[in-house]
């Protein structure tokens, strides 16, 4: 490494030059404005050649001398200058010094001990999933009334970041990433008790011209499912927002996200 070689050659001159710089700096009258407090570097390895340099920021208030390896030492150190550690450093195979850019071992991911789990997560999820499945299956067998929810996304520049459709506050559909539905797409169809139910549409959209502009909306609709009928619910998410296009240039734009629902009932299909 040529930079290292340069450092070898110039260290002696460097000491003298930097002594002068340090003394000149010390001789300056105190400034009116206090210096901001230096922030300490993390992970300083005191055994490495870099460690001494690391303190350079932190020891700004005391007169310092730059050592041969580029570090700093207190001017009060009057003893013999130790040999530069870089000349006795740990060489790699073949006598080539490891690159100074090599990451330290502690920069790699180590195992994290977050404590032993007290809940059997797999069992809990399996139990809940099985309970939900069997109750849904029993409901499907008992109720003749049904609901079928369809979704359509309109708008040229809106991308769906998140779309969750809930029925009576329980999520029944979570859209996959980059969900698209240019035409009505069925997302849920199931038997339900006749009567009133709440559908919640939780949508977050972002602009494909500048995804820094995004908005979310939670809309709750109440629908009534007639006895022995299937209620078709069509959810249309329209987006005419122009923030991503207009605001960066004109400093003026608008969000226009609309969730519209159309419900229509008809005779429920026969059970298989």
Q: Is 157 in the site for another protein (CB under 8 A)?
A: no
Please pick, from the candidates 25, 81, 193, 267, the single residue that binds another protein as defined by CB under 8 A.
Answer: 193
Q: Tell which residue, 239, 238, 221, 258, has the closest CA to residue 147.
A: 221
CA atoms within 13 A on the CB side of 186: 7
Q: What's the half-sphere exposure (Cβ side, CA atoms, 13 Å) at 20?
A: 4
Q: Which is nearer to another protein, 53 or 263 (CB)?
A: 53
Window 159-188: residues binding another protein (CB under 8 A): 166-177, 185-188
Contact residue for another protein among 128, 180, 248, 254 (CB under 8 A): 128
Taking the least distance from each CB to another protein, the nearer of 56 and 256 is 56
Task: Verify binding: residue 196, another protein, rule CB under 8 A.
Answer: yes
Cβ within 8 Å of residue 195, ≥6 positions away: 224, 225
Which of the 8 DSSP states describes residue 104?
A: P
Nearer to another protein, 27 or 101 (CB): 101
Answer yes or no whether residue 97 interacts with another protein by CB under 8 A: yes
Binding of residue 42 to another protein (CB under 8 A): yes
Does position 60 interact with another protein (CB under 8 A)? The reply is no
Piece of the chain touching another protein by CB under 8 A; list 46-54, 76-84, 238-246, 252-260:
46-54
For another protein, which stretch binds (CB under 8 A), given 52-60, 150-158, 234-242, 244-252? 52-60
Beta bridge pairs of residue 217: 203
Tokens 């559908």 sit on residue: 199
115 is an interface residue for another protein by CB under 8 A: yes
Q: How far is the CB of 191 from another protein (least distance, A)?
A: 10
Q: Which of 31, 46, 47, 141 is close enough to bind another protein by CB under 8 A?
A: 141
CB under 8 Å to 168, separation ≥6 — which residues?
Answer: 197, 198
Specify the residue for token string 């009334």.
Answer: 145
Q: Does 94 bind another protein (CB under 8 A)?
A: yes
**C-beta closer to another protein: residue 186 or 264:** 186
Q: Where are the beta strands (DSSP E) in the chain?
A: 64-66, 72-74, 146-153, 158-167, 170-174, 185-191, 195-207, 210-225, 229-239, 257-267
Give the residue with the Cβ less far from another protein, 107 or 183. 107
> What is the rounded end-to-end Cα distance, in angstroms, of the chain?
78
Distance of alpha carbon 193 from alpha carbon 185, whole angstroms: 23
One residue of 3, 32, 78, 156 binding another protein per CB under 8 A: 3
- 125, burial (CB in 10 Å: exposed 0-12, middle 13-18, buried 19+): exposed
Report the site for another protein in 207-266 (rule: CB under 8 A): 211-212, 214, 220, 222, 225, 227
Q: Does 20 bind another protein (CB under 8 A)?
A: no
Tell me how far, at minimum, the Cβ of 91 lies from another protein, in Å: 10
């Amino acid at each position: 490494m040529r930079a290292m070689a340069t450092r070898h050659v110039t260290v002696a001159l460097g000491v003298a030059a930097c002594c002068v710089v340090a003394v000149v700096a010390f001789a300056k009258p105190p400034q009116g404005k206090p210096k901001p407090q230096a922030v300490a570097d993390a992970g300083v390895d005191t055994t490495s050649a870099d460690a001494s340099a690391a303190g350079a920021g932190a020891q700004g208030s005391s007169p310092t001398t730059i050592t041969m390896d580029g570090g700093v030492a207190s001017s009060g150190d009057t003893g013999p200058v130790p040999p530069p550690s870089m000349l006795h450093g740990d060489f790699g195979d073949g006598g080539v010094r490891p690159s100074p850019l090599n990451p330290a071992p502690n920069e790699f991911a180590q195992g994290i001990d977050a404590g032993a789990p007290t809940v059997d997560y797999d069992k809990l999820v399996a139990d809940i999933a099985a309970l939900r499945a069997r109750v849904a299956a029993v409901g499907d067998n008992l109720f003749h009334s049904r609901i079928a929810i369809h979704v359509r996304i309109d708008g040229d520049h809106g991308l769906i970041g998140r779309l969750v459709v809930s029925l009576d506050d329980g999520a029944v559909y979570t859209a996959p990433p980059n969900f698209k539905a240019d035409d009505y797409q069925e997302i849920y169809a199931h038997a339900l008790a006749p009567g009133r139910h709440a559908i919640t549409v939780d949508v977050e959209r972002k602009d494909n011209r500048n995804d820094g502009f995004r908005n979310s909306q939670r809309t709750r609709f109440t629908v009534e499912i007639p006895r022995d009928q299937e209620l078709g619910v069509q959810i249309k998410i329209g987006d005419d927002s122009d923030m991503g296009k207009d605001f960066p240039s004109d400093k003026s734009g608008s969000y226009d996200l609309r969730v519209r629902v159309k419900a229509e009932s008809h005779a429920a299909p026969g059970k298989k």
